[in-house]
Chains A and B, each alone.
Chain A
Amino acid sequence: MDAIKTIDLTKKYKNVTAVDGLDLTVRQGELLSLLGVNGAGKTTTIKMLTGLTRPTSGDAFLNGKSILTEAAAVKTMIAVSPQETAVAPNLTVRENLELMAGVHGFSKAEARDKAAELSGRFSLGEIADKRAGKLSGGWQRRLSIAMALISDPQILFLDEPTLGLDVLARSELWDMIRALKGSMTVILTTHYMEEAEALSDRVAILKSGRLLLTGTPAEIKAQAGTDKFDEAFVRIVKEGQP
């Protein structure tokens, strides 16, 4: 079964079509990057897939569950790490992790164990009792991803996970994201082409709400006739007809 299958997924806001008839399939355990310039429809696609906004028409199935008719079931299998670092600032790192475990229905003891496990995996142990609002951007982002993983999601959405981070923090997060590959399906949105190339199994390029192309980074470079991924992206977006 495909992890994600969208069928003619469309979202219109008054006169603007943010996503236009999207047909996309993501395989189990795959890391797929959604690429596109601002307004391409990446965030709206993620919002529809995560139940934050209802499609105008079409449907999407996550592990076979419809986002329209089985939204509650969909919510139990997904997790989102939003673009901004979405942490509770006055709660400690540990409390943030336990909060996310709690809202997914884990008991107190389970929440404590999960928080300890994720703290270890993401090297958050030393700062477990620090308030999240006092952490640097890189550590907040790390915590934000750990919070998304605490429910053992089958599908993880990472929206611009390394936006605004320095080179070192970005490299560390890349390692963490790489470590997730295979164990869960990951949908990544990013404006950093080198990030998409380094992390993705496949890439989907959107323009004006329409899907232009999907393929591995190597396939995309070959199709654009260049060995540079950022050049390939620019060519495809410039030449692509929405």
Chain B
Amino acid sequence: MKGLAFSKRNDLEVLRDPLNLFFGVGFPIVLLLLLTAIQANIPAAMFEIGRLAPGIAVFGLSFMTLFSATLIAKDRGSSFLQRLYTTPLTAGDFILGYLLPILPICIAQSVICYGAAVLLGLEVTVHLVAAVLFALPVALLFVSLGLLCGSIFTDKQVGGICGALLTNLTAWLSGIWFDLGLVGGAFQKIANLLPFVHAVEMERAVLQGDYAGVFPHIWWVTGYAAAVTAIAVFAFLRQMKRQ
């Protein structure tokens, strides 16, 4: 009950921020519409809806890091978190309270993104449901990154790091907008060492019903998600002790 009350508060804080709604829901849909329109005039395999939609779904989730980190950094910057530290809430309540409420928002975002893709011509199959479910470890990765960044940066720093740097990293190193093989070299090697391209490739494989193609990408995504979550929990506990 105690943890639930805190989780509910975090959910409301995120959902009631109009900027979050724009970037979380509106922006991915705008991108989907724009690139589908370009695809209609200048056909490119990269922007076919079956390849584009999983990429946009993953890209959209990168904004969850910004939302989560901003909420935590603002709470830390004000006296609000200090006030809650004097209540019977435990460290576990705080960590779960910041992580869990964002996950349903991530699922809703994926559903909206794939729903918009269906309206733009994506075939309706059972694999759509699987694609939303496989987005969960990706969501955990981005939400945990939010917990990590929110625990170590101020809300102003979070805006730059999560709002600009991370979303650009996700965009450029995920193979959403261009084939990484066309660039090749160190760029492609670095991209393959990061989880973003694997998240997109995993989603693309699931959407095509190619469940064998999920491997090895899922290991990269879940491995990164587990590692980032562990580091984020450590960072949060450390700042909690400092406060």
Bits for A146-173, please: 1 = Cβ < 8 Å to B, else 0: 0110010000000000000000000000
Q: Enumerate B64-119 residues with CB–CB distance to A below 8 Å.
A: 78-80, 82-89, 93
CB of B15, distance to nearest CB on chain A (Å)? 9
A103 touches B2 (CB 8 A): yes
> Contacts of B80 on A, CB cut-off 8 Å?
86-88
The number of chain B residues with a CB under 8 A from chain A is 24
A123 is an interface residue with CB less than 8 A from chain B: no
Assess A88 versus B86: contact at CB under 8 Å? Given A82-B79, A83-B79, A102-B2: no
CB of B222, distance to nearest CB on chain A (Å)? 32
- B5's closest neighbor in chain A, by CB? A102
> Contacts of A89 on B, CB cut-off 8 Å?
13
A78 is an interface residue with CB less than 8 A from chain B: yes
A183 is an interface residue with CB less than 8 A from chain B: no
> Contacts of B2 on A, CB cut-off 8 Å?
102-105
Taken together as a complex, chains A and B put the C-alpha atoms of A90 and B9 apart, in Å, by 9
Bits for B159-194, please: 1 = Cβ < 8 Å to A, else 0: 000000000000000000000000000000000000
A130 is an interface residue with CB less than 8 A from chain B: no
B9 touches A82 (CB 8 A): no
Taken together as a complex, chains A and B put the C-alpha atoms of A81 and B87 apart, in Å, by 12
> Contacts of B6 on A, CB cut-off 8 Å?
99, 102-103
CB of A79, distance to nearest CB on chain B (Å)? 7
- A49's closest neighbor in chain B, by CB? B86
A86 touches B83 (CB 8 A): yes
> Contacts of B16 on A, CB cut-off 8 Å?
90, 131
Bits for B1-35, please: 1 = Cβ < 8 Å to A, else 0: 11011101100110011000000000000000000
A198 is an interface residue with CB less than 8 A from chain B: no
A82 touches B82 (CB 8 A): yes
> Contacts of A83 on B, CB cut-off 8 Å?
79
Q: Enumerate A26-50 residues with CB–CB distance to B below 8 Å.
A: 50
Main secondary structure of the interface of B (DSSP, over half): helix
Interface size class, chain A: 35 or more
B5 touches A80 (CB 8 A): no
B41 is an interface residue with CB less than 8 A from chain A: no
B243 touches A52 (CB 8 A): yes
> Contacts of A51 on B, CB cut-off 8 Å?
85-86
> Contacts of A102 on B, CB cut-off 8 Å?
1-2, 4-6, 8
Taken together as a complex, chains A and B put the C-alpha atoms of A72 and B8 apart, in Å, by 23
> Contacts of A107 on B, CB cut-off 8 Å?
1
Taken together as a complex, chains A and B put the C-alpha atoms of A99 and B80 apart, in Å, by 12
Taken together as a complex, chains A and B put the C-alpha atoms of A106 and B82 apart, in Å, by 20
Taken together as a complex, chains A and B put the C-alpha atoms of A184 and B217 apart, in Å, by 59
Q: Which of B13, B84, B243 contacts A103 (CB 8 A)?
A: B84
B85 touches A52 (CB 8 A): yes
Interface centre among A102, A104, A105 (most CB of B within 10 A): A102
CB of A128, distance to nearest CB on chain B (Å)? 15
A59 is an interface residue with CB less than 8 A from chain B: no
> Contacts of B12 on A, CB cut-off 8 Å?
88, 90-91, 95
> Contacts of A147 on B, CB cut-off 8 Å?
83
> Contacts of B1 on A, CB cut-off 8 Å?
102, 105-107
Taken together as a complex, chains A and B put the C-alpha atoms of A58 and B87 apart, in Å, by 23
B86 touches A79 (CB 8 A): yes
- B17's closest neighbor in chain A, by CB? A90
CB of A8, distance to nearest CB on chain B (Å)? 23
- B6's closest neighbor in chain A, by CB? A103
Assess A86 versus B82: contact at CB under 8 Å? Given A95-B12, A99-B6, A105-B1: yes
Q: Which of B13, B86, B88, B93 contacts A80 (CB 8 A)?
A: B86
A76 is an interface residue with CB less than 8 A from chain B: yes
A-B contact pairs, 5 of them (CB 8 A): A82-B79, A95-B12, A98-B5, A105-B1, A131-B16
Binding site for B on A (CB under 8 A): 50-52, 72, 75-76, 78-91, 95, 98-107, 111, 131, 147-148, 151
- The 4 tightest CB contacts between A and B, nearest first, are A102-B5, A82-B79, A86-B79, A86-B83
Binding site for A on B (CB under 8 A): 1-2, 4-6, 8-9, 12-13, 16-17, 78-80, 82-89, 93, 243
